[in-house]
Amino acid sequence: MCCQSPEPPTREEAESKTAHKRNLSNGTSEQSPARRSKRQKSTINLKEQSDSQAEESEAETFAPAVEEEKPVKPVAKAAGKKAPVKKEPKEDAPPKKTRKTKKDQEAEAMPLAPRTKGLRMFVGAHVSAAKGVFNSIHNSEQIGGNAFALFLKSQRKWDNPALQDEHRDQFHKLCAEKGYDASKHVLPHGSYLVNLAQSDKAKAKQAYTSFLDDLRRCEALGIKLYNFHPGSTNQTPLPEALSRLAEMLTQAITETKTVIPVLETMCGHGNTIGGALSEFRDLLALIPAEHHARIGICVDTCHSFAAGYDLASPSGFKAFLSEFDELIGIKFLRALHLNDSKAPRGSKRDLHANIGTGFLGLRAFHNVMNEPRFEDLPMVLETPIDRAPVKDEEGSESESAKPKKGKKTAAANVADPGVWAREIKLLESLIGMDPEGDEFKALETKLSEEGRAERERLQDQHERKIEADEKKKAKGPGKAKGQKSLMDMMKGGAKKD
């Protein structure tokens, strides 16, 4: 048979040979891939796909299932900025705090107790004015108060923003809508920083500026009573301190029109002014008589009891009012702070207790609520309302009550305004109640038992302090630290530490 002539090379083979020769001429033995047209590439790709599909169909008969990899989305890089990295939430991370819904806010604003209308006694509490003075009205209504106290600004710093016109107008509007007489039954409390008896001129000016600002806020809000602490002598003689206080009050009255500064009775500790009723008598004597109509006194039951006055027994209470009227004049009594006392009478310790649980006892507040001369005066509770956090059904505390990490402190107490709501109703129930009846005695016994442990603890402290003071007096004035004794001086010895 004759040999068949070889078939002419295809175009691909020719291009491959040409590329091979080119590589050899460049000194390389590696074969470069041949260039293909778009039509050739598509033909070859289809063939490769059909072959790969056949291989995959064979592999499915024995290969285990492999989890599909999620495609990574390309992130566009901004000039000079790193692409944000999404952090995965930690399993033990606390849940994010969410804003309270309108429904939640309405539930919190629901009254804890209704207000009792038509009473001669106006009882309330010192409520919060956070986020605007007008909120104090909502907070008072929530606990069923017919009177209330508030801070007109932060009581722990000197510089405060001015009263906003919108807040002022809202306060007037809500007082009218809710039936609060701001001129009679609202009793703002002054700053704890202010001491009008201050001897230092610069500090005295600072105190007076803050005091006058509060009085002007009162007048803008239609409030006529403003309660404040008389201050401290700062180790200067009492008559001098009273003179400075009288001068400041006289000046403040002349610079305002209607507001009445109301001085609070104090417990008599240290250099504080206002423990003894006679100190108010001496103060009034230093203020011109034409200004007396714009001066008032607020009796704090805890403070006066701690200062030594008997407000617990009916006879002691009557004697206290008689002394008040004789030394000062009952017409100057403008308000009351209703607080029981954790500390015994005469302890000079300012420790407020819940009504009926302290040394004053429920009988003292029966005296107050049935005294005709207290009608139409604002009576303000300042009793403690902080309570241990309530645990849920699973026994866990709320996140807000848990102590912070790294601290070994106990869970923070939670403010419970329901305490005030219950105490307001308790006090109102005492009006006309027979103190010798079974109802009163049952209440008195129950509340007294609740505070028994705390009273015993404070009584023990008080007795130990008295004993220590007596021993100190018996020893007489001791030598100063580092002073030589007579024996040391005779022997030429050194100072004793």
Residue 98 tokens read as: 């969410």
* pLDDT at 474 (0 to 100): 86
Domain span at 469: 111-386+414-473
SS3 226: strand
Question: What distance in Å separates the CA atoms of residue 128 and residue 462, rounded to the nearest whole number?
Answer: 33
Q: Answer whether residue 444 is part of any domain.
A: yes
Residue 59 tokens read as: 């592999």
Question: What distance in Å separates the CA atoms of residue 49 and residue 55, rounded to the nearest whole number?
Answer: 10
Q: Answer whether residue 40 is part of any domain.
A: no
Burial classification of residue 432, based on how many CB atoms lie within 10 Å of its CB (0-12 exposed, 13-18 middle, 19 or more buried): exposed
How is residue 232 annotated by DSSP? B
Q: Answer whether residue 86 is part of any domain.
A: no
Question: What distance in Å separates the CA atoms of residue 338 and residue 239, rounded to the nearest whole number?
Answer: 30
Q: Answer whether residue 397 is part of any domain.
A: no
Query: The CATH number of the domain where 197 resides is what?
Result: 3.20.20.150
Residue 333 near residue 304, CB atoms below 8 Å: no
Question: What distance in Å separates the CA atoms of residue 415 and residue 385, rounded to the nearest whole number?
Answer: 6
228 beta partners? 263
Q: Answer whether residue 143 is part of any domain.
A: yes
Q: Angle at Cα 427 formed by Cα 355 and Cα 441, nearest 5°?
A: 75
Active site (catalytic) residues: 156, 189, 192, 229, 264, 300, 303, 337, 350, 352, 382
Q: Answer whether residue 223 is part of any domain.
A: yes
First to last CA, the chain: 135
Residue 234 near residue 199, CB atoms below 8 Å: yes
Residue 252 tokens read as: 């403040």
Closest CA to 307 of 350, 271, 337: 350
Question: How many structural domains compose the chain?
Answer: 1
List average pLDDT for each run of 10 residues in the chain, which is 497 residues long.
Answer: 50 56 49 49 46 42 41 50 52 51 60 93 98 97 98 91 97 98 98 96 97 98 98 96 98 98 98 98 98 99 98 98 99 99 97 98 98 98 84 46 51 85 98 98 98 97 93 74 55 50
Q: Answer whether residue 136 is part of any domain.
A: yes
333 half-sphere exposure, CB direction, 13 A CA radius: 23
Q: Answer whether residue 394 is part of any domain.
A: no
- What single string gives the DSSP state of each residue in 279-292? HHHHHHHTS-GGGG
* pLDDT at 168 (0 to 100): 98
